[in-house]
Amino acid sequence: MTYTGGIYPLGSARGSGPCALSVVADVAEPAAATAAVVTVPWVRNERGAVAGLKTTSYAENVVALAHAHARGASEAIFANTRGDLCEATGSNIFLVIDGDILTPPLSSGALAGVTRALVLEWCGGKERELPADALEQADELFLAGTTRDIQPIDRCDDRAIAAPGPVTADAAQIWARKAAEHPDP
């Protein structure tokens, strides 16, 4: 669903006409059992005017995904301007470090997705500022999002990771059970 300021003349100014709502539906293919990700050399601006907003401006994501696909990965991971982890192009990144499920806080510039919030609530995840190199120290990694649910990561850049690890597998089981119990959380 996309809610806009409506149809206006070319340019960036806001008009005074009615807003517009567009709804597009399509069949979503099930996510692969695991995902390969790469970090990208570009950053998310956690202090930008649209930080934390889901917009239709996907140019950064398109470029980042092309970078990932050229390297045999299906998703790209962004750091922010401080060098901390932020998010993926269409999902949130979770790390398992010493048995704890961790994800960057919203102040990192990450989007506040419903799946992200439910993983935090249902699986005992915690928000924590994480330097980008925490990806290298994590015992397990997974993505979470509407089209992925909880998807284990089996490769991050050139590092192979056994996936799913035990914490990720438990989180995926919790997710499946809770999502079945609460289809409209």
Predicted pLDDT of residue 76: 97
Instruction: For residue range 77-90, list pLDDT tens digits in order.
Output: 999 999 999 999 99
**pLDDT, tens digit (0-9, with 9 covering 90-100), for 35-45:** 999 999 999 87
Task: Give the DSSP per-residue string, 70-121.
Answer: HTT-SEEEEEETTSBEEEESSSEEEEEETTEEEE--GGGT----HHHHHHHH
More confident residue, 96 or 49: 96
Q: Are 6 and 20 in contact (CB under 8 A)?
A: yes
Q: What percent of the chain has pLDDT over 90?
A: 66
The more confidently predicted of residues 111 and 172 is 172
Per-domain residue ranges of the chain: 32-181
Tokens, residue 181: 């119990």
Place of tokens 């990144």: 93
* Residue 55 pLDDT greater than 70, yes or no: no
Residue 149 gets the label, from left (phi > 0), alpha (psi -120 to 50) or beta, of left
**For strand 126-127 and strand 100-103, is the pairing parallel, antiparallel, or unpaired?**
parallel
What's the whole-number average pLDDT of the chain? Answer: 90
How much is the pLDDT for 53?
Answer: 64
CA distances from 150 to 24, 90, 109, 118, 177 (A): 24, 13, 21, 11, 12
Q: What is the pLDDT of residue 164?
A: 96
CB-CB contact of 112 with 81 (8 Å): no
Residues of the chain above pLDDT 70, percent: 91
pLDDT digits (tens, 9 = 90+) for 131-145: 999 999 999 999 999
CATH code that applies to domain 32-181: 3.20.10.10
Q: What is residue 102's predicted lDDT score, i.e. its pLDDT?
A: 98
